[in-house]
Amino acid sequence: MKICVYCASSATIDESYFKATEKLAVSFIDNKIEVIYGGGAVGLMGKLADTILENGGKIKGIMPKFMDEVEWGHKKVTDFELTETMHERKAKLLEGVDGLVALPGGSGTLEELLEAITLKRLGQFTKPIIILNTNGFYNPLKEMLERCVDQNFMNEKHLEMWQFIDRPEDVFDAIKNSTKWSEDAISFAANK
C-alpha cells in the first residue's frame, strides 16, 4: 500500500505535532505502508522521513528542482524524484497512491489538501483522504467544509470525501474503512 502524506516544513511548531508525526510514521512501518511525501528535510516532513528511514520503512520524496537547489531536499531519502514545477509535483504525489493523509501545515499543505478534495469531488481522485486533526488544528477547516454543505455549495454526500481523525494511531483503520468513492462523483449536484 502507498500513502501520500502532506505535511509542513516548519521547524518552529509545537512539539506535539512532531510526536503525532512520529506515531503516524511508526504506524505506517508496522502496516508495511510505503510513504510518498514532498521530499523535505525539516519540520514534519523531516520527522516523517527520519522516523521511517530509522526504522527500515520505505519513503519516496518528490520535490521541484528549485526547492532542491536551495537545499530543502532530504539527503538520506534515496528514492527521490525532481519535478520542474509545483503543479507537476502535486500530480506526481497522487500518482498510484492508495490514499492520502494531511498533517497540520501552512499554505502549501492546505493548498495540496484542497486540490485533492476538489479532484475527489470531480471523480479524478477516488482514494481515501484522511485529515489528521492534531490538537484540533483542522477544526476551522472542518467547520468551513460543513458550511459549504449547509449553504448548498456542496452536496451532503460530499462530506463522505474525507475523514477527520484526532489520533495518528487511528489513521490506518480510517484508510481501510473509508467510504468508497466513484469516478462518477462529478454527477452529484451541489443542491440535491
Residue 68: how many CB atoms within 10 A of its CB? 16
Q: Residue 6: enclosing H or E segment and its boundaries?
A: strand 2-6
- Name which of 100-109, 153-162, 175-184 the model is least confident about: 175-184
Domain boundaries, the chain: 2-187
pLDDT tens for residues 96-146? 999 999 999 999 999 999 999 999 999 999 999 999 999 999 999 999 999
What count of Cα atoms within 13 Å lies in the side-chain half-sphere of residue 29?
16
Cβ contact 175:130 at 8 Å: yes
Q: pLDDT at position 43, please?
A: 95
CA distance 45 to 9: 6
Could you please state the CATH topology (level 3) that the domain comprising 2-187 is classified under: Rossmann fold (3.40.50)
Cβ contact 113:104 at 8 Å: no
